[in-house]
């Protein structure tokens, strides 16, 4: 009897999951960006940073995922979960997205792109995230960040 081998599901390549944690200085006050970083510290000035000590950065993402995000018609959805709280923000792709950063990933409400940008045209930035979620992150909660592209 022949054994059937199923090809890898394409859907798996279109989602990236990052594990990180909050920090006492998470404030979620920035009006135009939000950020997840691999850094192990956060100063009060980092008002866009939602989580630190991320286990992955954009440079680690699957090449097929990166290519899909470079389509300007792509919809990119980012969900941040901590404890019982979650928030989802939607933006879009851009042909100039690099995904080269091994340190941080920044979502932007604008169309500005630099080496850290992974999504542009977001509906809102750090200040728009649910306050209960931000408070959980400020209490140091573990975070799961899921990025999906369609």
The pLDDT tens digits for 112-129 are 999 999 999 999 999 999
- Average pLDDT score over residue span 71-97: 98
Name residues whose C-beta falls within 8 Å of residue 55's C-beta, 6 or more positions apart in sequence. 18, 19, 20, 38
Average pLDDT, the chain: 93
What does the pLDDT read at residue 13? Answer: 40
Pick the CATH number of 13-149 from 2.60.120.630, 2.70.170.10, 2.40.400.10, 3.40.718.10: 2.60.120.630
pLDDT tens for 30-58 read 999 999 999 999 999 999 999 999 999 99
Assigned token pair, 102? 């091994």
Spatial CB neighbours of 48, under 8 Å, sequence gap ≥ 6:
29, 30, 33, 34, 35, 106, 125, 126
Burial of 11 (0-12, 13-18, 19+ CB in 10 A): exposed
Q: From start to end of 31-122, where are the E strands?
A: 33-37, 49-51, 75-82, 85-92, 104-108, 117-119
CA distance between the termini of the chain? 38
- For residue 50 the two structure tokens come to 């939602």
């Amino acid at each position: 009897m022949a054994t059937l081998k199923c090809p890898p599901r394409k859907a798996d390549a279109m989602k990236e999951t990052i594990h990180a944690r909050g920090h006492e200085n998470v404030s979620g006050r920035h009006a135009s960006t939000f950020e997840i970083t691999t850094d192990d510290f956060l100063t009060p000035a980092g008002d866009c940073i939602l989580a630190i000590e991320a286990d992955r950065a954009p440079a680690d993402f699957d090449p097929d995922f990166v290519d899909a995000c470079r389509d300007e018609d792509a919809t990119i959805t980012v969900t941040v979960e901590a404890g019982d709280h979650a928030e989802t923000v939607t933006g879009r792709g851009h042909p100039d997205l690099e995904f080269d950063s091994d340190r941080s990933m920044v979502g932007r409400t604008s169309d500005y792109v630099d080496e850290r940008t992974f999504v542009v045209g977001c509906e809102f930035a750090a200040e728009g995230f649910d306050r209960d979620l931000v408070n959980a992150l400020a209490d140091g909660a573990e975070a799961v960040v899921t990025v999906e592209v369609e």
